[in-house]
């Protein structure tokens, strides 16, 4: 379940620049770019589930890439210049990155190029 606005996580200055001000982190700088594990990636601001780890793939672009998202949890918005399509969290409208189609990188032919600072991994493995 997603958190209400009043319960959103506090963001660092870097996270705020990316998520709120629609910035972009440097390629190959994020902590989840090559991360592997069993679980789900959630929005760093509101913890809304966005991507299953099984949909993550190595595109070589320097940012985490996914070829699918949790149904209904990622919105697509055409950039003002009409060149790219921005992706945002459907719960808090936090900027995630951009989506690209037609690159033939996976059988789904879609790449969600996501800023590491926009997401956080939640493991499905039990501790103990």
Q: Do 112 and 96 form a contact (C-beta atoms < 8 A)?
A: yes
First-to-last C-alpha distance (Å) of the chain:
25
Domains of the chain, earliest start first: 28-123 (2.170.150.20)
Task: Cite the active site residues.
Answer: 113
Share of the chain above pLDDT 70, in %: 92
pLDDT of residue 94: 97
Contact 45, 90 (CB under 8 A): no
pLDDT score of 1: 47
Task: Note the pLDDT tens digit of each residue in 31-71.
Answer: 887 777 889 999 999 999 999 999 999 999 999 999 999 99
Return left, alpha or beta for 23; rule: phi > 0 is left, psi -120 to 50 is alpha, else beta.
Answer: beta
pLDDT of 128 strictly over 80: no
């Amino acid at each position: 379940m997603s958190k209400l606005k009043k319960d959103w996580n506090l963001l660092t200055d870097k996270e705020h620049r990316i998520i709120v001000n629609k910035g972009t982190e440097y390629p190959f700088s994020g902590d989840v770019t090559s991360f592997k594990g069993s679980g789900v990636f959630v929005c760093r601001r509101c913890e809304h589930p966005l991507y299953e780890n099984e949909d993550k793939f190595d595109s070589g672009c320097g940012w985490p890439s996914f070829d699918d998202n949790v149904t209904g949890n990622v919105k697509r918005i055409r950039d003002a210049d009409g060149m790219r399509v921005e992706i945002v969290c459907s719960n808090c409208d936090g900027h995630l990155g951009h989506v690209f189609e037609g690159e033939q990188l996976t059988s789904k032919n879609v790449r969600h190029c996501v800023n590491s600072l926009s997401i956080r991994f939640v493991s499905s493995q039990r501790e103990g």
